[in-house]
Amino acid sequence: MNISFNKYLVIFIISITTSISTAFGYAEDSLWHLYGVDYKITQQDQVKSWIEQVSEPHIANTIKHLTSYRTRYYKAPEGVEAMKWIASSWRSLLTKRSDVKVELYDHKIFPQPSVILTIQGDSNDLIILGGHGDSINTNDEGVHSVAPGADDNAAGIGVLTEIIRLFGLNNYRPKHTIQFIAYASEEHRIHGSYDLSDVYDKAGKSVIGVIQFDGVNYKGPSYDMVLVSDYTHKDQNEFLGRLIDTYLDISWTYDPCGYGCSDHAAWTYEGYRASFPFESLLAEENPYIHTAEDTFDKSGNNANHATLFAKLGVAYLLELDQ
């Protein structure tokens, strides 16, 4: 999760655009990419079957491996190696499928690549599930710092990896094209996702929904899950709320970040529908993130809380892919 409070021009533009839309009585969606999104909930049997298969140990193993790197800082050699490991791990889960491609996306201004796994569907319209792979220690920032980033964001990558595993386990053939993205350099001004969302927008790619997993394994005291209400899409957020109520039966609420606090903001800026389910109220977030103390033991050496986000990701994917 990016906690820099610098007021970037992009965030200002989003705010001004929204204000103008409201002032002139335009529908909110007039300024968003529209692709006939259907938010009906109709896949209960399939979703419940997948949810039962979500494995806490599998998510935990991903977290433990990624925190074995001293850092995953976007300029550090370990930050590059960690992303290569993610690509290899994702590829190994779907080796028997001919509709799968895994790429390392090279960014021009820093060495860490993003990882993109694409599962080709009947349609080229995209559903994107993402989370960042880098880490940072803001107390001692640099390539030599210690930044294990267990919650922020090895756990988010663990959630994505588990959903990919379920894809292979159930031999699911999607109607839409599905992409899983491990973004580079989220902690440094969200550069990786801004690069990618800009490329997608300029290429005219149809993206019907984006969900971000960043900070998913530290349980706040007040709620089990929080939907970030700003720099996200209202209709898709309401859809996620109904999915939580239908499939998870947990406590949740809305809460604003107050700024573009993760990769969802890059997609929002380009006009795509993006959402960001988070582990707690922002005032109650993990106090260890962005330090050398963001380690797996701070979540009790388990990924129990992260499993809720894997289940939500399963529900989001299977219900939207109709």
| Ranges of each domain in the chain | 29-320
214 is catalytic: yes
Closest CA to 168 of 180, 157, 156: 180
Of 58, 188, 290, 305, which is the active-site residue?
Answer: 290
The rounded Cα 64 to chain-centroid distance in angstroms is 19
Closest CA to 244 of 275, 274, 221, 214: 275
Length of the chain: 322
106 is catalytic: no
Q: Do 274 and 208 contact (CB within 8 A), yes or no?
A: no
Contacts of 91 (CB under 8 A, 6+ apart): 100, 102, 117
152 is catalytic: yes
Question: For 29, which DSSP code?
Answer: G
Of 162, 214, 270, 294, which is the active-site residue?
Answer: 214
Write down the CATH superfamily of domain 29-320.
Zn peptidases (3.40.630.10)
Using CA atoms, how far apart are residues 18 and 85, in angstroms rounded to an integer?
40
Cα Rg of the chain (Å, integer) = 18
Residue 9's pLDDT is 44
**What is the block-wise mean pLDDT of the chain (322 residues), using blocks of 10 residues?**
51 41 34 67 98 98 98 98 98 96 97 98 98 98 97 98 98 98 97 97 97 97 98 98 97 97 97 98 98 98 98 98 94
Of 125, 152, 230, 255, which is the active-site residue?
Answer: 152
270 is catalytic: no
Residue 1's pLDDT is 87
Contacts of 147 (CB under 8 A, 6+ apart): 70, 71, 72, 73, 135, 136, 137, 290, 291, 292, 294
187 is catalytic: yes
